Amino acid sequence: MQKWVSRAAGLAVAVAMACAAMAPARAQLFETRAKQAYLMDGETGTVLFSKNADRLVPPASLAKLMTVDVVFHALKSGRLKMDDTFQVSENAWRQGGASSGGSTMFAKVHSTIPLKDLIQGIIVQSANDACIVVAEGMAGSEANFARVMTNRARKIGLKKSTFDNATGLPDPKTRVTMHELALLARHIHDTYPEYYHIFGEESFTWNDIRQRNRNPLVHENIGVDGLKTGHTENAGYGIVASMQRNDRRLYLAMTGMDSERERAEESRKLLEWGMRSFEKHSLFAKNDVVGKVSVYGGTQSSLPVTANKPVSIFLPITDPDRLRAQIDYDWPLKAPVEKGAKVGTLKIFLGDTLSQQTPVYAAAAMDKGPLYKRAFDAFEELTLSQF
């Protein structure tokens, strides 16, 4: 077991597995023309590919996924019903209707529309007018609704993305990461199974105008059943997609491409590669000891830790030795420690990419040690901190 202290982060890090030795940095196993991209396995959370995935960028219409999540959350909690109606304001008609030049469901000004149809307009047609109608109807104004979007993002674990409108139209305060959009896609799929099927609808007709789903992969019969495309001049062409094949589901978020054709080609290639180029490996069973962490002032100098669920990961078929792992925890971990207490995080890397994170818990309790043991640990802590 190897241990060291990071003074900058205030962490001690212990290598927790007898995996392959840490490999030198290597090139990505896949190359894409997208400027930012993130691909992950839905079941295990394995990060299969990451490129500038935590960089904040303009989302274009990919931001509408957050709008949809707010609406679905209200439906699931009972605050809204599918047959509730919303009125189309003049503002929604002007800012999001046909005259605005953006994507629209052609809602007539001052008409009332059932929420069910507005949701289809947002998801299938990427309708800006539908987004504004819903935002005004739920929060009084689009600005108020955008604050709800950002607050909701934080509640579901999106720490960086911020929203200043419901549509994703250009705005300096609306920024997302591809990492968080992929997490949002998985959240929507897993939390709202009763509504998720709407993302796979091939077309929607409103005001006698039929429009095809703007996600080109939905029409290709390759297992893609969502979620959203987007484009503005400053964002480029982007997509958030999910592919189901047999018992596997992948989530992809990518942006910064130069054309619709490039977006379709790059997303299709990356999803197919993710499906075909990885194999699932079981690393630990539930409650297996995954490693040890040092304890300050305890009856023993270290404590075994476990994961409270099975830990599996997808490894590249052609290069499985890229795997390495470590446990991160606040150091010094002070006694007493209760059995089952969360003490750190098992981090698994594929090359230089953090591929999976799993909380780890104390496998046993540890009481405070005798005075001489605490004095020795205090001396060791002082020595290490000076070092």
3-class secondary structure, 238: strand
Q: How far apart are CA 94 and CA 87, in angstroms?
A: 14
Q: How far apart are CA 40 and CA 282, in angstroms?
A: 17
Among 35, 50, 51, 61, the one annotated catalytic? 61
Let me know: does 227 contact 241? Beta carbons within 8 Å. yes
Asked if residue 228 belongs to a known ligand binding site, the reply is: yes
Q: Which of 173, 218, 176 is nearest to 196 (CA)?
A: 218
For residue 118, cis peptide bond before it (omega within 30 degrees of 0) = no
The secondary structure of 252-317 as a DSSP string is EEEEEESSHHHHHHHHHHHHHHHHHSEEEEEEE-TT-EEEEEEEESBSSSEEEEE-SS-EEEEEET
Phi, psi of 76 (to 5 degrees): -65, -30
Among 126, 242, 267, 294, the one annotated catalytic? 126
Count of other CB atoms within 10 angstroms of residue 286 = 10
- The sign of the torsion formed by the CA atoms of 302, 303, 309, 310 equals positive
Q: How far apart are CA 225 and CA 215, in angstroms?
A: 9
Q: Could you tell me the end-to-end alpha-carbon distance of the chain, in angstroms, rounded to an integer?
A: 20
Q: How far apart are CA 96 and CA 121, in angstroms?
A: 12
CA distances from 245 to 26, 182, 201, 257, 293 (A): 29, 18, 18, 26, 39
Residue 277 a catalytic site member: no
Token pair 């504004």 is found at 132
For residue 316, cis peptide bond before it (omega within 30 degrees of 0) = no
Among 64, 161, 267, 292, the one annotated catalytic? 64
Structure-token pair, residue 14: 């212990």
Residue 286 a catalytic site member: no
Residue 126 a catalytic site member: yes
CA 1 vs. chain centroid, Å, equals 32
User: Which residues are part of a known binding site for substrate?
Assistant: 228
Q: Which residues are catalytic?
A: 61, 64, 126
User: Which residues are part of a known binding site?
Assistant: 228
